[in-house]
Structure 1
Amino acid sequence: MKLLISALLLLFNVAVFAQSNQFSGNYTRTLGEEGKHLIEYKLTLNPDGTFVFYSYSNVKGGVPQEANKYGKGKWIAKDNLISFLTNKQEDFDDKYTLDFNNSTARFITKNPRDKSDKVVKTKLQFLESKIFWMERIDLFKI
């Protein structure tokens, strides 16, 4: 009986780890052009369930014209939805100031059963976030 339970737990852990590897990786999005307005977003989902986010903006005539913003925390996946969590004591300091609590993104990829030539870029589409400029942003997997 103990052997059966151990085997089931091992299979469950392998399945959970394999599922998180589907989502983990680097995601990016660049809006604008060099020399004009430029906004870049970079998100890294680590296989251990942590994430790091970086945003760079250079807006001509903006106040401030150039800005760097950072965020970090943990992520969990359920079906194709990824939820982001930040712990105020661990994930915030002078550099990491973005609060990703209650942020949710949908993982979008081509369905493996779709045998057509249609190209679907793998991406995360943010559905909701306390960070107003993150809602409806698509970040593409690289």
Structure 2
Amino acid sequence: MKIVIVSLLLIIGLNSFAQSKDFSGEYTRTLGEEGKHVIEYKLVLNQDGTFVFHSYSKIKGGIPPEVNTYGKGKWSSKDNLITFLSNKNEDFDEKYTLNFNNSKARFITKNPRDKSDKIVRTKLQFLESEISWMQRIDIFKI
């Protein structure tokens, strides 16, 4: 009887682990043309629940011509929705100035039951953010 219960618990545990999504990794997006105007976004979601974000823009004729902005904090997920939090005491300094509080992104990937040839790149689509230029931005997993 003990073997049956242990086997059942092991099967349930493995099944729930197999269905979990791996949100962690590097996400990136480049907009514009090289040599003209370029905007690059890079987001790293670490497995320990922390994140680092870097935005780089080089605007021809802009003042200043190149801008780097950074943000960091913690992230959590529920279903396919990722919520970002930044602690004012720990996550902000001269370098890390972006406030990701109240930012939410949807994790989008191809449904495993979809057997068609349709290509769906895994991405995060920002739905809400107090950072105005982050709303509706898609960044793709690499």
User: For the aligned residues, what is the CA RMSD?
Assistant: 2.0
Deviation track 1:95-122 (CA, whole Å, cap 9, x = no partner) reads 0000000000000000000000000000
- For 2:98 and 2:62, the matched residues in 1 are separated by 20
Structure with the bigger percentage of helix: 1
- The one-letter amino acid of 2:61's match is G
Q: TM-score, normalised by structure 2?
A: 0.87
Shift of 1:73: 0.3
Q: Hey, what does 1:28 align to over in structure 2?
A: 28
Structure 2 match to 1:67: 67
C-alpha separation in 2, matches of 1:52 and 1:24: 11
Task: Report which of the two structures shows the higher radius of gyration computed on alpha carbons.
Answer: 2
CA distance in 2, matches of 1:57, 1:88: 25
Counterpart for residue 123 of structure 2: 123
Q: Give, in angstroms, the shift of residue 60 of structure 1.
A: 1.2
For residue 96 of structure 2, what is the aligned residue in structure 1?
A: 96
The CA distance in 2 between the partners of 1:104 and 1:65, in whole Å, is: 30
Gaps of 5+ in 1: none
Runs of 4+ in 1 over 2 A off after TM superposition: none
Tell me the residue number matched to 1:37.
37
